[in-house]
């Protein structure tokens, strides 16, 4: 089963028959310099340790069941609920992770006893764990330093507090004033120092290619 933006394939009286997840393209900025062989890789001067990726394409195939006369109504429902919309995608084959993207519903294809529809999703390059893990809870008035371990090397840390939260990460200071705000992590081990005058809860949501 597949769930797209809160709707499963069964909501459209359809079988989920195909999934393809194309790899994302690594972003590189290559500049050719006159009178010099080859190129200059500008990307390495930004941060040679960090690889950034472009969006990736997810292809989902559905086969609509039912009588031929029912296909147009089902297709209209697919268009209304999914086409041009964005949200989260989950699959039974990979239940711990979810994708976020924007969907385009293809044309209705007559397969004889059923009708096929291909949904193409322009998705973020990383999938995210469905469940966040709490990694800290307390009142760090004088600052609390701890290390966040992310197996995949990429993750999102969420902060929940009724008071402004000051976070030091990779030599930079960030101030968060909202109840739920987040910070992107780009290394396997990230050291954070959190300061807050009231209780703050910190959660980690891991990301993976």
C-alpha to C-alpha distances, 143 to 19, 99, 200, nearest whole angstrom? 46, 34, 11
pLDDT band at 17 (very low <50, low <70, confident <90, very high): very high
Question: Which of 97, 125, 153 lies at the terminal end of a domain, its last residue?
Answer: 125
Q: What is the CATH number of the domain that holds 195?
A: 2.60.120.10
pLDDT band at 46 (very low <50, low <70, confident <90, very high): low
Q: What does the pLDDT read at residue 116?
A: 95
Number of domains in the chain: 2
CA–CA distance, 120 with 103 (Å, rounded to integer): 6
CA–CA distance, 32 with 83 (Å, rounded to integer): 40
Q: Same domain for 80 and 140?
A: no
Question: Which of 83, 103, 125 lies at the terminal end of a domain, its last residue?
Answer: 125
Q: Same domain for 137 and 194?
A: yes
112: alpha, beta or left? (left if phi > 0; alpha if psi -120 to 50): left
Q: Same domain for 64 and 81?
A: yes
Q: Which residues contact 202 (CB under 8 A, 6 or more apart)?
A: 134, 135, 136, 137, 157, 158, 159, 160, 192, 194
127 and 208 in contact (C-beta within 8 Å)? yes
How does the average pLDDT of the chain come out, rounded? 87
Q: Same domain for 73 and 162?
A: no
Q: Which residues contact 208 (CB under 8 A, 6 or more apart)?
A: 97, 126, 127, 128, 129, 152, 154
pTM: 0.80
Q: Same domain for 91 and 106?
A: yes
Q: Same domain for 56 and 108?
A: yes
* Structural domain containing residue 167: 132-208
Phi, psi (degrees; rounded to nearest 5) at 105: -90, 125
pLDDT band at 181 (very low <50, low <70, confident <90, very high): low
Q: Same domain for 72 and 116?
A: yes
Q: Same domain for 52 and 113?
A: yes
Q: Same domain for 177 and 83?
A: no
């Amino acid at each position: 089963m597949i769930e797209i933006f809160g709707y499963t394939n069964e909501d459209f009286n359809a079988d989920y028959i195909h999934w393809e997840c194309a790899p994302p393209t690594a972003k590189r900025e290559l500049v050719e310099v006159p009178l010099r062989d080859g190129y200059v890789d500008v990307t390495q001067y930004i941060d040679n340790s960090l690889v950034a990726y472009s969006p990736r394409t997810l292809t989902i195939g559905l086969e609509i069941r039912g009588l031929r006369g029912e296909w147009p109504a089902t297709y209209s429902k697919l268009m209304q609920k999914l086409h041009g919309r964005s949200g989260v995608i989950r699959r039974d084959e990979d239940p711990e992770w979810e994708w976020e993207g924007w969907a385009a519903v293809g044309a209705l294809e007559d397969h004889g006893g059923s009708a096929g529809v291909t949904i193409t999703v322009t998705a973020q390059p990383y999938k995210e764990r469905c469940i966040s893990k709490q990694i800290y809870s307390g009142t760090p008035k004088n600052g609390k330093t701890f290390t966040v371990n992310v197996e995949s090397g990429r993750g999102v840390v969420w902060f929940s507090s009724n008071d402004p939260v000051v976070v030091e990460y990779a030599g930079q200071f960030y101030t968060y004033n909202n109840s739920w705000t987040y910070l992107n992590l780009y290394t396997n081990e990230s050291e954070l120092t959190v300061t807050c005058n009231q209780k703050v809860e910190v959660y980690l949501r891991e990301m993976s290619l």
